[in-house]
Structures are given as C-alpha cells and as structure tokens.
A and B are shown apart, each in its own frame.
Chain A
C-alpha cells in the first residue's frame, strides 16, 4: 500500500504539480501595450526614493566565446545619484551624479571624470517618470509583458548603433530584477539584482567613490 502511494506521489503528483507550476508561470506572462508597461514601471518607481542591491554581472563576449562574471553592488537615490561597485577581479567604481560621471579603477589608481550632455543625465531621464506616460519615446521600439508581480520592458533602438536590445524587468513596486543588454556585435550582458532594498534612507556618505 505504502509503495502504491509512493508511486502515485512520485510518478504522478509531483510531475503534475511541476507542470501546473510551469503552466501557471507561463500563463501569467501576458503581453501588454508598451504604454501600459511604461506606466506600470513609472507607478512602481514613483514610491521609491532610493534602493540598494547586490548584483551579478555576466558578460558574454561573442568573439572570445567567453563569459566574464563579476559581482558587486548598486545604490540609487532620487533624483539623480547612482553608484555602482564591481568587485575584483574586474574591480571598478562608478558614480553618476546627474550628468557627471566619475570612474575609479582602485587597483590601477585611475580616476577619471566625464561630463555627459545634460540630456544624457539621470535627472533628465527620471524626470520622464514624473508624469503619466502618454506617448512612446522616439527612436525606440518598445514591447512589454507582465508576468506575476513583474513587468518586462524590451527597448529596441531603431538605429544600428551600439545597443541592439535592452530588456529590463522590474517588480510592481519599482525594484529592479534583471537587466539584459544585447549589442550589435552579439555581445550580451545580464545584470541580476539580488537583495534589493528600497527606501532605506541613503545619505551622501553612501555615494562616495573612495
């Protein structure tokens, strides 16, 4: 009798459960309009003043048929400050304060500062999230889908420069989950966000590059 139940559980119930879970996961993925997708992302982000996360970055280099894997952390504070640190062996730190980009290679003692055009600054980009999204940005094609409590935006630049596709997945409350960047040269980078904490009250001291 015991053997019979074990057989039922092992051969039928568990596979059935797995199939159901799989079907539920795929069934929940629904394509939504790009405007809906952007608006969901905007609303999620509206309640966020800052966030911190640990990251894993996987860069697939098509030419070398190799993957560079590194880990690190990111911090963001509204309206315009972003910090990213990648640990050894490819150690680097980056601070973007609106359109001023400072980069540090700690092992090499290299520090460089670049001022980007204002329209490429963080303040400009995040100001787009201040009001409801009513039209799509020019120069890109956007596709969106919703799966469970996350929305994925696929942003495809119409030109043939640099990035071929950018795919970002955000939770409903604005926390980032995954960012995938595919380039024209077939290189691909995937950044996965873990231990994301929002509204933790980040201060200026959390955005010092050294």
Chain B
C-alpha cells in the first residue's frame, strides 16, 4: 500500500514537472513560408526620428495595406492622440485632432525644416516582393520600380535585410518573426542621404488580416484643411 502511495506521489511530481516544463517552453513559430508577401499590418509601434535638426518620437499604432497605404497615430503619454498621418502614393495628410487641423499635400511639399520631413521615407517600407526567399541566401539583386532603382540584400537564410536606393536612402529590416509563416521584421529603420534616421519598432503585429478602408482614409469632417507646405510642427 505504501509502495503504491510512493508511486502515486512520484507520478504526481513527474506530471507536475512535465506540465511546468511544457509551460516554460516557448510556442514554436510557424516556419517562414517562401514567397509569402506582406498584404496588411496593424500594430502598436514605437517610432524614433533622428535628424540633424533634432530628434522626436513616441508610441502609437500603425495600419498598413499594400501597396502603399499607411495610417500612423502617435499618442501622448496620457494616451490621447497627438498626431495622425495618412499616406498613399506620394500624398500625405497630417491630422492634429486637438487643434481640429489637417495638412495635406505631396510629400515633396513638406518643408525641409519640418520635424516630419524624414517621414517621407515611410513609402520605402512598402515591399511588394517576398521578404523570404531561400534561393537568395546571401545574395543581392538590383531592381527598378516606381520608387526608384534599388538593390536588395538578403541574409544567410534568405531574409531581406536591407534595401539601398540609388537616391541614397537605405532601409534595414531586422528581428524577423513569423506571423503564421509570413516573415515580418519587428524593426524597420530608414536612413536618408542627409543622415535622418527613422526607426519603427512593431509590437504585437497582426499580419495579413482584413483592414477596413475607413482605417486608411482620414476623416476630415469639421477640420480646417491647410497645405502641407505650411506644416511646421505641433
């Protein structure tokens, strides 16, 4: 009887240890799927913008849909919306909800001294080629697209790690994670030829999930609309 009790106790301990062990093992990521492309992203983000004129940054969220639609909201430390940007193609709209004001125009109309000048590089994030191709391990290839001529560099696994544009800008893709097989870089950093750096760190990204059109189009009802060229900051 005593032996039975000992066996039961040992079995219980073994089961407990096994359960604890299972809990501690991280959930396996789905392996990267070759050829998978990025259609949509919705994520919390941390942005830092460092330019020779000064630095800025904050926490917020971003919504992206192929080929080039972005909505970024930056939050105040109190959690309220400080600023929103919407971009599509070469157009940018900046919304400042607390002032009821919006600025709209082409990226190129943004003044050189604007703190968001570096933000024009966001369109370089739009990637329509697969981020993972095992056949491209350690290689580079040059392409010509509407965004300009650029060279893509792949790491030893075949993940896109850098794009260098003929115009001087560079985009780095780092810390890949698998979203059900779709490779997604947790950090994207842009550097322009003038030394401006924009770094986006993604948190809890939702990849390739449906996104409402309303999330990508600014609601300008009741807003005072001004030209982008007049935007000088908050």
A residues sitting closer than 8 Å to B (CB atoms) are 57, 59, 61, 63-64, 66, 68, 84, 86, 89-90, 92, 94, 103, 105, 107-112, 114, 159-163, 181, 183-185, 187, 189, 191
**B59 CB contacts on chain A under 8 angstroms:** 90, 92, 105
B residues sitting closer than 8 Å to A (CB atoms) are 42, 44, 46, 48, 50, 54-59, 61, 63, 71, 73, 75, 77-81, 97-100, 199, 203-204, 206, 215, 219, 222, 234
Is A162 in contact with B81, judged by CB distance below 8 angstroms? yes
Name the residue on B nearest A94 (C-beta): B77
What's the dominant secondary structure at chain A's contact region?
Answer: strand
Partner of B81, one of A108, A160, A187: A187
Is A110 in contact with B57, judged by CB distance below 8 angstroms? yes
Is A105 in contact with B81, judged by CB distance below 8 angstroms? no
Most A-side CB within 10 Å, residue of B54, B80, B203, B215: B80
**B80 CB contacts on chain A under 8 angstroms:** 162-163, 181, 183, 187, 189
**B46 CB contacts on chain A under 8 angstroms:** 90, 105, 107-108
Name the residue on B nearest A159 (C-beta): B100
A208 nearest CB across to chain B (Å): 17
**Total A-B residue contacts, Cβ distance less than 8 Å:** 89
Complex CA distance for A114 and B56, rounded to whole angstroms = 11
**4 more CB-based (< 8 A) A-B contacts, given A111-B55, A187-B81, A189-B80:** A61-B73, A108-B48, A162-B99, A185-B97
A92-B58, A163-B80, A189-B79 known; A105 and B48 CB under 8 Å?
A: yes
A64-B61, A108-B46, A108-B199 known; A161 and B100 CB under 8 Å?
A: yes
**A185 CB contacts on chain B under 8 angstroms:** 81, 97, 219
Is A108 in contact with B57, judged by CB distance below 8 angstroms? yes
A64-B61, A92-B58, A160-B100 known; A191 and B78 CB under 8 Å?
A: yes
**B98 CB contacts on chain A under 8 angstroms:** 161-163
Most A-side CB within 10 Å, residue of B59, B99, B222: B59
**B219 CB contacts on chain A under 8 angstroms:** 185
A197 nearest CB across to chain B (Å): 21
The 9 A-B pairs at the shortest CB distance, nearest first, are namely A189-B79, A162-B98, A161-B100, A108-B48, A110-B57, A59-B79, A162-B97, A94-B77, A90-B59
A110-B50, A161-B99, A161-B100 known; A183 and B57 CB under 8 Å?
A: no
**B73 CB contacts on chain A under 8 angstroms:** 61, 63
Is B79 in contact with A57, judged by CB distance below 8 angstroms? yes
Complex CA distance for A184 and B59, rounded to whole angstroms = 19
Partner of B77, one of A68, A103, A160: A103
Is A112 in contact with B79, judged by CB distance below 8 angstroms? no
**B75 CB contacts on chain A under 8 angstroms:** 59
29 A-B pairs with C-beta separation under 8 A: A59-B79, A61-B61, A61-B73, A63-B71, A64-B63, A86-B77, A89-B203, A90-B44, A90-B59, A92-B58, A92-B77, A105-B46, A105-B48, A107-B46, A108-B48, A110-B55, A112-B54, A161-B98, A162-B80, A162-B97, A162-B100, A181-B79, A183-B80, A183-B81, A183-B97, A185-B219, A187-B80, A189-B78, A189-B80
